[in-house]
Amino acid sequence: MKKVFIATLLVLSTVTFTIAQLRIGLSGAYSIPSNSNYKGGIAVGVQIGYIIIDNLSVEFGGMTYKYTVDGSREGLSKGSLSLVPFEFTLQGRLPLSEKKIIPYIMVGFGYEKNKFSIDSQVTAPWNNAGISIEEKVENSMTYHTGIGVDFFLIKKLFANMNVKYLMAETEGSWRQTDTGTGASLSGSLNNLKFGAILISLGLKYSF
């Protein structure tokens, strides 16, 4: 019985210790696409992180943001591109000022769900002529690196700011179909680069 009690205490203390290293957060970001044909915008995301040791943590997160695409003959046409990356990040941390300010560097990878909606200005005249136009993009792997800093505001709540460069490259396809006959033309869209600089601000709660 004693052994069981001691073991329970040990487990509880471990759990308590573990929970104390967890944090969750919300962030907003502004994305600056590397491709000049794309216009960035506001991104929002959630993260859950775990501090392994004082100088090392990991974080899982997801974001969603959109690009407005100006359109080019080789790349995507005019339209709207939705990107939802799910990322794993490793952070190297350097606690300062009694751990109130913690700058860090980060590196990571992820998987991005992409969706493109072609602008009706492009498709409408063709649709009126009986020709449908579709463009699709594939999901992609992402890689990112960046720097950031955590500021503790109150005991368990801290603010976070980071800047990261996200690399993403994928492929797409297009199809132009005569709705009456089914005749179609199609092609590939290669080397679609969805990279961006993301400047994020967020709040995180540490358990």
d(CA 186, CA 183): 10
Q: In 10 A of CB 140, how many CB atoms?
A: 20
Return residues touching another protein (CB under 8 A). 73, 77, 122, 125-126, 128-131, 133, 174, 176, 178-181, 183, 185, 187
Of 14 and 120, the one with the shorter C-beta distance to another protein is 120
- Per-residue buried b or exposed e for 59-71, using 16+ beta carbons within 10 Å of the residue's own CB: bebbbebbbbbbe
Question: 151 and 135 in contact (C-beta within 8 Å)?
Answer: no
CB of 130 to another protein, least distance (A): 3
Cβ nearer to another protein, comparing 92 with 187: 187
CB of 177 to another protein, least distance (A): 10
Residue 184 C-beta: closest distance to another protein, Å: 8
Q: How far is the CB of 137 from another protein (least distance, A)?
A: 15
3 state DSSP class of 98: coil
Closer residue to another protein (CB): 54 or 171: 171
Residue placing its CB nearer to another protein in the complex, 34 or 132? 132
Say which residue the tokens 């775990």 belong to. 50
Which residue is listed with tokens 């590939």? 188
